[in-house]
Amino acid sequence: MKEIPSKFRAAVFYGPGRISVDSKREFQPLRVSEYDNNATNIKSNSRGTILKVRSCCVCGYDARVFRNGHRKVKPPIVLGHEICAETLEDTSIMSAGTRVAVYPVLPCLSCKYCYYKMYNLCTNMQEVGSTLDGGFAEYMHIPQETVQIGGLLPLPDSLGDDEASLIEPLACCLNGISQISHNGRSIYRRGSSNALQTDDKSVAIIGDGPIGLIHLQLFKNLLRTKPILIGKISERMDIARSLGAKRTFFSNNTDATVSEILQFSDSDGYDLVVVASSDPSALELATMIASKGSTISVFAGIKEKSAGNAATLDPNIIHYNQISVTGSFSSTPDNFKQAIQIATDKVVDLSKIVTRQCSLDRITDALFLTENYKGLRTAVIP
Ligand SMILES: [Zn+2]
Ligand SMILES: [Zn+2]
């Protein structure tokens, strides 16, 4: 067993616009008691395990919470949910010093969604980096339930720490894709290049950020389609083309752009459209370029309503064009397992998605970079 300090350095979020490094952060109670009233099969005194964080990437969500706060985030708290860490003590399934990806959802294990292992839909969930201290810290406390559901997943040596911290968003993308045409079932079997019959489908991805570019690689390398990508930032569009986008388009939702995007499709629009942008206009664009009988995956959380900026979805387009709309949120431990295989097999090259590293002391810079769409993911190395 490695030494576990009682105080450690952590970037603590104190409220909108306020984050600073506390060099004497202590492990926080896991607050299991908050939902223990209904959850009879959880031991509220379970101690969990301590991990040493090796890398934690900054998600767009972290930047939005930093700027505006979030209804589910109660400061002071440590953000960060895209985590590669190291175990410090032997457990029944792994020895101390094992590098792991951390599944960030802590399920109640007693609701109907938990019964079906759809932990991402748990009605009483806690989340690492939102309601429990997360990965922008030297150390973190992981609840016993996370270990119990297989939420600490050992990593192969071939995956670097920063790549490994992106197993989380990759797992989320796999969940999103499996909702589109696989009823939520697994889409990857090692050794079979195409588990889904999608190679004849036309695919459009809206969003040029890390999530759009992970979807791009999945659709191209796993599902053997030839996706196009619609974005706003030229450096990111260059990366999209280098990763195999058949064509990239600048989005501005003008009639000219929409008709150009439509003309490029062989038919009257795209069979699968992924919304990987939090911009409310992305959803509208999706309905404009989706073909009849198509599916739209609403992957991204869309920015919440503000005056004149609400996302709109015309019900008559859905009806007359017989469009299916799927949603997805977070992921399951199964998605994590697949994500590790897919990243290890380089079906998706996650190293292309991490464009910067920074130290814990520079967390605010990392958040600024993220909210201003500079580069792709920034990894915080505590
Ligand atoms: Zn994230
Ligand atoms: Zn539950």
Confidence at residue 90, expressed as pLDDT on a 0 to 100 scale: 85
Q: Are residues 120 and 15 in the same domain?
A: yes
Answer yes or no: do 246 and 359 share one domain: no
Same domain, 34 and 145: yes
Ligand 1 centroid from CA 330, angstroms: 8
Q: Which of 327, 343, 372 is the last residue of a domain?
A: 327
Ligand 1: centre distance to CA 56 (Å)? 10
Residues 57 and 187 grouped into a single domain: no
Residue numbers of the domain that contains 321: 182-327
Indicate the average pLDDT of the chain.
88
Looking at the CA of 112, name the nearest ligand: 2
Q: Which ligand is nearest to the CA of 167?
A: 1
- Strands (E) in 308-366, as ranges, are 324-327, 354-359
Domain CATH for 365? 3.90.180.10
274/285 Cα distance (integer angstroms): 11
Mean of the pLDDT values across residues 152-176?
Answer: 97
Query: pLDDT, tens digit, for every residue of 102-146?
Result: 999 999 999 999 999 999 999 999 999 999 999 999 999 998 888
Q: How far is the CA of 107 from the centre of ligand 1 (A)?
A: 18
Report d(CA 357, CA 355) in Å as an integer: 7
How many angstroms does the Cα of residue 33 sit away from the middle of ligand 2? 14
Domain membership of residue 72 (yes or no) is yes
* 121 CA to centre of ligand 2 in angstroms: 7
What mean pLDDT do residues 188-197 have? 51
Distance 120 CA to ligand 2 centre (A): 8
**Residue 19 domain flag:** yes
User: Tens digits of per-residue pLDDT, 72-87?
Assistant: 999 999 999 999 999 9
Closest CA to 244 of 259, 223, 258: 223
Whether the bond between 75 and the residue before it is cis, its omega within 30 degrees of 0, is no
Say how many Å lie between the CA of residue 122 and the centre of ligand 2.
4
Looking at the structure of the chain, the number of domains it has is 2
Residue 44, pLDDT score: 41
Nearest to 153 by CA among 110, 104, 192: 104
- CA separation for the pair 162, 93 (Å, rounded): 24
